[in-house]
Amino acid sequence: MAEQALIALESVGLRYGALEALRAVNLSIVPGECVAFVGANGSGKSTLLRVLHGLLAPSAGVRRQREALDGRPLRFAMLFQRPFLFRLSVQANVRLGLWLGGVRGEEAKVRSAQALQRVGLAAEAARPARALSGGQQQRLALARAWALQPDVLLLDEPTASLDPSAKREVENLLAEFATQGMTLLMASHNLGQVKRLAQRVVYLEHGRVLADVPAAQFSRGWRCRPRPSCFSKESCHGEVRQAGAAAPSGHVRDRARRGRRSGRAGQEHRDGVDHVDRAVRLVRAPAAGVQEGQRHRREGGGARYRPGAGHGPSRRCDVLFVHDQAAEEKFVAEGYGLKRSPVMYNDFVLIGPKADPVGVKGADIVAALGTLAKSPSSFVSRGDKSGTHAAELRYWKAAGIEAPKGTYAGYQECGCGMGPALNIAASSNAYVLADRGTWLSFKNRADLAVLVEGDKRLFNQYGVIVVDPAKHPHTKTALAQAFADWVVSAEGQATIASYQIGGQQLFFPNAATK
């Protein structure tokens, strides 16, 4: 690796099964430069960013990085195309990132305030993060990254789907970061943006680097010999040549047009998939059912369901598949649901570091939480008013702790689903309560393990409720009832019993025994 390089890739390749996502990539990144990665969809830009960050390990070749900069470890931050924001306030989203990075107390408070001031969101600090506009959300994600004081900031299409005004706001912030010496690595389809921000352009095709040139030279034009088989041959890299002031060949222009079309179409497809996914998860992922009931709006929809917060007629879903029995029974008693039918069960487990520094391992969840609350270790709570969150709060109360958020210094609410909460725990070596089904399907376990299980209080019952059409006449009651009837039928119960991950059954049907 060159002496001045921050990161270097040497003949790096990466495979996803049979798909070769990166091929023999050689690349060196020096401090303070802004490098743009361009190419059509599927060319490997996002994968390359993740390898440069260290999120993905190469299947072949070597990734090297400087161990220290200015006498301290190198710091990275990454901004994804669609920023993931927790169901927390704007300021809490920034502070959670700092908390995960080990920055706590007064320093976290000061840094989060400075970051929001920097991106022009100081006045929005108390607002729910998900109530922000698209441009504001991207600026919030930038604030969260900037607060970590990274040496290298990686950005995956940072202004995709933003309007021109929001794009300018984000670009201005990136330009400001660059003037302060931050190294920026950016994947983009926007060649105008590349010209405005980048000093160097890396062009990828089918996972291979075909050009690595100064941005000004790339803007003037370069070309690849228009051989149809060029992009599949090992010799292709040598056939890319600088073209001085020549315009890009028709071959390259056509590829660029196809890339732009596929980019828009791909975005529309992803939006469509996301919309369908929200609808499907309402009935397929019961652990998230309550939250989907809050967010999802179907044509003529039904009722909102939100345990512990009243159940007003906001017309958002037709059937609930959830796991907070007390709130479910209240929902039906208040006339918002026709009937609650038990469907299946699994159990909750307390997850934590394998080394278990607090010593909570055992079969008593209440004793474990009581011990945790007296320790310096961290605990990640979903904090999203889901069934899992409600169960967690019951266990804290049983341990004599009414409000862990205010009395346990290591307690952190993420306002997120089970998967993200587990990811946060994995990255911060924290404890977390999870349902066993999600834990069994969770891949990024790092050094986490099940520490508390087998306590009868960890029993986790799921139920199904059809929204009452008398209160919500626009519900699709026939379809909702058909689903509710099926899931408790012999066929539905057998389907539940047959569902396994890694040879382990996730849920146990019990409609007939309740």
Pairwise CA distance, residues 267 & 276, whole Å: 14
94 closest CA partner among 118, 115, 120, 119: 115
Same domain assignment for residues 485 and 452: yes
Within 74-133, residue ranges assigned H as helices are 90-100, 105-118
Q: 275-301: per-residue pLDDT in tens?
A: 223 322 333 333 333 333 333 333 334
Tokens standing for 280?
Answer: 């499907």
Which of 269, 284, 299 marks a domain boundary?
284
Handedness of CA 290, 295, 299, 305 (dihedral sign): positive
Residue keyed to tokens 């009931």: 293
Which of 238, 253, 284 marks a domain boundary?
284
Pairwise CA distance, residues 417 & 406, whole Å: 22
Burial class of residue 232 in the structure, from the number of CB atoms within 10 Å of its CB (0-12 exposed, 13-18 middle, 19+ buried): exposed
Same domain assignment for residues 280 and 312: no
Residue keyed to tokens 């200015």: 70
348 or 163, higher pLDDT: 348
Question: Could you tell me if residue 104 is inside a domain?
Answer: yes
Q: Give the pLDDT score at 104.
A: 84
Q: Phi, psi at residue 268, to the nearest 5°?
A: -65, -40
- Paired strand residues for 25: 12
Lowest mean pLDDT among 241-245, 340-344, 349-353, 389-393: 241-245
Tokens standing for 250?
Answer: 């028709």
pLDDT bracket for residue 53 (50, 70, 90): very high
**Contact between residue 343 and residue 321 where contact means Cβ atoms under 8 Å apart:** yes
Interacting residues of 146 by C-beta distance below 8 A, sequence separation 6+: 77, 115, 118, 119, 153, 177
Residue 3 has pLDDT above 70, yes or no: no
Tokens standing for 177?
Answer: 């970061």
Residue 311 has pLDDT above 90, yes or no: no
Q: Residue 449 in 3-state DSSP?
A: strand
Question: Could you tell me if residue 471 is inside a domain?
Answer: yes
**Contact between residue 332 and residue 467 where contact means Cβ atoms under 8 Å apart:** no
**Contact between residue 289 and residue 321 where contact means Cβ atoms under 8 Å apart:** yes
Give DSSP secondary structure letters for 288-306.
GHHHHHHH---TT------
Same domain assignment for residues 505 and 375: yes
Same domain assignment for residues 169 and 206: yes
Same domain assignment for residues 236 and 306: no
**Contact between residue 323 and residue 340 where contact means Cβ atoms under 8 Å apart:** no
Averaged pLDDT, 137-146: 92
Pairwise CA distance, residues 229 & 213, whole Å: 23
Q: 185-222: per-residue pLDDT in tens?
A: 999 988 889 999 999 999 999 999 999 999 888 877 65
Kind of pairing, strands 7-16 and 60-65?
antiparallel
Q: How many CA atoms lie within 13 A of 190 on its CB side?
A: 18
Residue 463 has pLDDT above 70, yes or no: yes
Residue 135 has pLDDT above 80, yes or no: yes
Q: Give the pLDDT score at 170.
A: 87
Lowest mean pLDDT among 22-31, 130-139, 483-492: 130-139
Pairwise CA distance, residues 86 & 107, whole Å: 21
Same domain assignment for residues 333 and 212: no
How far from 464 is each of 281, 293, 314, 454, 513, CA to CA, in Å? 14, 13, 19, 25, 15
Same domain assignment for residues 54 and 132: no
Which of 95, 114, 149 marks a domain boundary?
149
Same domain assignment for residues 251 and 297: no
Question: Could you tell me if residue 361 is inside a domain?
Answer: yes
Instruction: Supply the CATH number for residue 314's domain.
Output: 3.40.190.10
Instruction: Supply the CATH number for residue 45's domain.
Output: 3.40.50.300
Question: Could you tell me if residue 154 is inside a domain?
Answer: yes
Residue 144 has pLDDT above 50, yes or no: yes
Averaged pLDDT, 74-96: 89
Q: 421-442: per-residue pLDDT in tens?
A: 998 898 888 999 999 999 998 8
**Contact between residue 275 and residue 287 where contact means Cβ atoms under 8 Å apart:** no
Pairwise CA distance, residues 330 & 347, whole Å: 22
Residue keyed to tokens 């919309």: 275
Same domain assignment for residues 359 and 480: yes
Question: Could you tell me if residue 80 is inside a domain?
Answer: no
Tokens standing for 371?
Answer: 């011990």
Lowest mean pLDDT among 22-36, 125-139, 210-224: 210-224
Pairwise CA distance, residues 375 & 93, whole Å: 24
Domain total in the chain: 3
Q: How many CA atoms lie within 13 A of 393 on its CB side?
A: 17
Pairwise CA distance, residues 39 & 215, whole Å: 14
Residue 129 has pLDDT above 70, yes or no: yes
Question: Could you tell me if residue 501 is inside a domain?
Answer: yes
Question: Could you tell me if residue 211 is inside a domain?
Answer: yes
Q: Give the pLDDT score at 514.
A: 56
Pairwise CA distance, residues 185 & 55, whole Å: 14
pTM: 0.56
Pairwise CA distance, residues 340 & 462, whole Å: 10
Residue 313 has pLDDT above 50, yes or no: no
Task: Give the domain range for residue 122.
Answer: 85-149
Same domain assignment for residues 177 and 222: yes
Question: Could you tell me if residue 195 is inside a domain?
Answer: yes
Same domain assignment for residues 100 and 194: no
427 closest CA partner among 399, 400, 447, 442: 447
Residue 54 has pLDDT above 50, yes or no: yes
Averaged pLDDT, 24-35: 95
Q: Residue 390 in 3-state DSSP?
A: helix
Tokens standing for 131?
Answer: 């109530």
Same domain assignment for residues 446 and 498: yes
